[in-house]
Homo-oligomer: A and B are copies of this chain.
Amino acid sequence: MTLAPVLARLDADLDAALDRLMALLRIPSISTDPVYQPECDAAADWLVNDLASIGFAAEKRPTPGHPMVVAHGGEGGPHLLFYGHYDVQPVDPLELWDADPFAPAIEDTPKGKVIRGRGTSDDKGQLMTFVEAMRAWVAEHGALPCRITIFLEGEEESGSPSLVPFMKENADELTADLAMICDTTMFDGRVPAITTQLRGLLAEEVILTGPSRDLHSGMYGGLAVNPIHVLGRIVADLHDETGRITLAGFYDDVPELPEAIRAQWDALGFDPARFLGEVGLSAPAGEQGRSPLEKLWSRPTAEVNGIWGGYTGAGFKTVLPSKAAAKISFRLVGEQDPEKIHAAFVKHVEDRLPAGVTAEFPSGHGAGASRMPTGAPAFEAARQALSEEWGMEAAFIGSGGSIPIAGHFQEILGMDSMLIGFGRDDDQIHSPNEKYNLESFHKGMRSWARILAALAE
């Protein structure tokens, strides 16, 4: 089974592949908002039908939340499991989008053609790269090059509450020789990459309650405790003046970066001024005495993702509010244990509660960091295939984002993951005007065809 006709077919069928992607992108499958439950369901149905059309035995599998899509096809060779997610981030603030986020379109930009819309890069555009590679392979050769399981999730953007139970219940079915996860970026617009080091994530929410109802700040101010002030202290005290996180024991399980990896990262020529300049920032923040890539890929962080309390509408309302709240995420590295960090965070909050203020912690779930076995032969074979497609030496890199699934595959199924994606840093995932370069989509499909050929050999 040769590669060349598969690549030729991917080139010839690009427009049809784009039509299919657009159909999937038009489904507003926002998993975190219960209003969009039917749309998440519709996206799963669409994928089941599409995978069945290629010859997969594909099913929508129920969970207490949004359904999983599981599909099996091919035989012989290594058993590869491909993972992606069909759910997308919310679109607010909607007014900052230049067009309807769910009316995707191809745009000409100074950096080339892009596909614009929510989910183009994270993750519908990415997951369709491997689906299209498999479609072309089957069309040319009548069968897949090896045994393949496809596993698509609908809750990745909302904390994946059903994922671990589903994996445990279906461990035999989902265990393969290697997982292929397509939800990451290239190193830059030219250099393809396999992400081999991922930060973990602990998602916290803290809700403070002071007075039992909103009060008039004139009638009560100065005597009644204001929960926003308490929250301000909790947020301010998360970091010390050197940018280090103050939770007790937070750095106990954080390893120093090995010199070999530091040298490799230094050689990548990362330009922090350009990286930050693109988002309007003039200076790096964060932990003092650490290199920019170290901060992004191998150091833990604490970020307040949202804060609210009191009157936030137009004009003024002199309210002393009953409640104030924040959503805070911790990126974890090395052996940091989400449960231990959760306990330290609860203590950080409780140590700062004056009499009359109570705290609730409705979240507090998370996953630790992951590091992949870059010495395994499959990693070198995939790296070689990527290098050939892009005409640039592919890199083993770290990622600041968290893809907890890689940790779950390791812990629950004893399976390593290869993280290969074709996103760009400027894709504006999780932001207005998300896009995916047309080149990422096209060369992404071709990359998977090459990797399939290399691994199935």
Contact = CB atoms under 8 A, between A and B. Distances in A.
A317 B306 contact: yes
B199 A218 contact: yes
B222 A301 contact: yes
A456 to B, nearest CB: 32
Interface string A268-297: 000010011001111111110000100110
Contact of A214 (B235, B282, B287, B431): B431
6 contacts: A32-B316, A90-B311, A211-B279, A235-B235, A305-B318, A311-B327
A299 B218 CA distance: 11
A368 B204 CA distance: 42
A314 B34 contact: yes
Interface stretch (A12-20, A167-175, A223-231): A223-231
A320 B303 contact: yes
B237 A279 contact: no
Interface string A181-208: 0000100000000000001010101000
A89 interface: yes
Interface of A: 31-34, 89-90, 92-93, 96, 157-159, 185, 199, 201, 203, 205, 210-226, 228-229, 231-239, 272, 275-276, 279-287, 292, 295-296, 299, 301, 303-321, 324, 326-327, 329, 331, 354-356, 363, 399-402, 425, 428-432
The 3 closest A-B pairs by CB, nearest first: A232-B235, A212-B280, A32-B315
Contact of A299 (B217, B222, B292): B222
A159 B237 CA distance: 34
Given A211-B279, A317-B430, A354-B285, A220 B400 contact: yes
B317 A222 contact: no
Contacts of A226: 285, 303-304
Nearest to A278: B212
Nearest to A325: B312
